[in-house]
Structure 1
Amino acid sequence: MPGISTRALAIALAGIWLSNPLPAAHGLRTTSGSPCASICDKTTSNTTGAGIVCLDSMYGDSTTGETFEACVDCQLKSTYFDQEAGESDVNWGLYNLRYAFTSCVFGYPESISNVSSPCYVGCQDISSAVETGLENPGPLNFNSWCGSTAFADNVINTCEQCYNLTTNQKYLANFLEATRYNCHFPSVSGNAFNIAPTRIFSKVLLPSSLSLSTPTPNSSSVNLPLVIAVPIVGFLVLVASLAGCCFCFIRWRRKRVRGKRMSNHLYDRWNDTSISTPVYAQGGWGEQQAQGPGYGTSGLGFVDSNGQAQAVGYSEYYEHYQQPQQKKGFSQEITETPGAYAQPETAPYGVQPEKPQGGYQ
């Protein structure tokens, strides 16, 4: 241009550049080829301080805060995993949360704001742990900070509780707890993060990882009514089985006792002489008592259960052999001649005794 020196032109261009600086490089790191890349990679693929905000209100009132929340929300819900690189969206989402916490609290690796907070003192002891690997992130050191000697659960609890009591930085407490949760319960590659992002970007403090148990895979698909019903049904079946066994045993035992009682009763009746007691005549074979029924007849006498005398008749053979002199039984002496018949001690029913040869022996 005529009339304008080169020096003046340079000064004019410098003024224009200073009055309109180039936009800062906004971006958050994510897995190459991730479906979240369009949300996280605005102008750079690396996480920088330009993409971080520290106040809770800025996550809903600024573009930077909204972009950060949307990016991390996408990453923690994503199941994308680059097996060759060993990277997943969940790993980078947790890294971005830890980057935001250390930048806002400790000003590392970049100082984001000059917000004064008394919580810095309570969190100071874990600074070296949470800062591990932030400047050179990768699959080999995503969780290396968990094994740091400066990692202390009691200090983390104190730090979280302090930030939860603040009025404008409650999110930072949940950022720290989410990353600690992954230390105790590492995420499985190809699975979404166990804590919903809406709970992380909330002013309600997450429960401490120390109070949680190891999550079970697919726990949401567990049929709770079935889990409750199975033990109850099993218990009822067991009780019914025991009751049935007891019933059968008692019935068998009663039957056995009843059989023994019946057997003993018959045995006692068989040996009970009071039922029917035979009575033999005192005066000899077939001769009945003088006052008993059937006197003068031959037979067997007995007393029944009522005490009444009874007689059963036999054949009248005895009278043919009865000695006229013998009237009082076998105990009397024989008065007949030696050739007479001897009186038998017993006589079979209906059989006549044989005559002895040669007289009385």
Structure 2
Amino acid sequence: MASAKDQSNATAKANEKFSKETYSTWYEQMLLMRRFEEKCGQLYGQQKIRGFCHLYIGQEACVAGAVSALKRGDKYITAYRDHAHPLALGSDPKKIMAELYGKATGISKGNGGSMHMFDKENHFYGGHGIVGGQVPLGAGIAFADMYKGNDNLCVTYMGDGAVRQGAFHEALNMAMTMKIPVIFVIENNGYAMGTSVSRTSNMTNLSQLGEAYDMPNESVDAMLPEEVHGAVERAAKRARAGEGPSLLEFRTYRYKGHSMSDPAKYRTKEEVAEYRAKDPVEHVKNILLNEGWATEEELKELDKKIKAEVLECVKFAEESPFPTADQALQNVYAEDYEIMQD
């Protein structure tokens, strides 16, 4: 008897709205995220990566589908589960790995580590360790573009736990009042650390929180990049037309614990298996195969190539120097902060 995963994969069909090129891009992006994060988990176990480390395994479609729906110049900001976002935006994966190692060649020069990635060149504004702290910042970034008179927007990601913060509600109220072009995205993976949404909220359909501010809102099956793309595309159209913000709830799932120190004993094996049957990487892979857009051999070669690329990232990180003591005094004030200078 076929497993649920086999049955799901066998029926995977392409959405006619999306081309072979789009599915191929999604697959390559998500596979890089997956292999990169798997390697990070191994390196953390070897104590090569220290401190906190939050993996994105299972949530890859939340980023891939959004990036394909937006344009160059749009901004992105998120919380501390932040390795995958810059990967999809084109940041150098070697620099991301070096940052995880705390090396001077890292994307934040070794100052940020796992939770504080930053890449202005690719419009990625963090990586923020304070729960919900990035939500008003995202609204502010979008306001800056509105003030400048361009049609760029900011996608502001957060976890489901962040909606308990007052800053979330303040940002939504201000954004809707001023019609700021920001897309608020709740990556609802079911758990705020180890506590389920149903235990912390009377309202489990978190997209409806936007109703309090008369904000357009939508709940999205974020295991599917097609659904993510469509929702973000609709929200972006409203934002660029001057209609203001949207609140999107991406219903997704993380296969690992909240962080590497979390054994995730609060979940059943059956629950994890249910979501693995809807794995976003496997979903896109099987569309490529079923549509005849790629062969098993071609996808195996791609996987091999990406694994080799990740190993190159590790080599680069291990051979890179740590920051020197005097670098601790650099980039402290805005006038000396190279990342912020135009």
TM-score by length of 2: 0.20
Q: Which structure is richer in relative contact order (CA contacts within 8 A, separation 6 or more)?
A: 2
TM-score by length of 1: 0.20
Computing the radius of gyration from Cα coordinates, the structure with the larger value is 1
Q: Relative to total residues, which structure has the larger strand share, 1 or 2?
A: 2
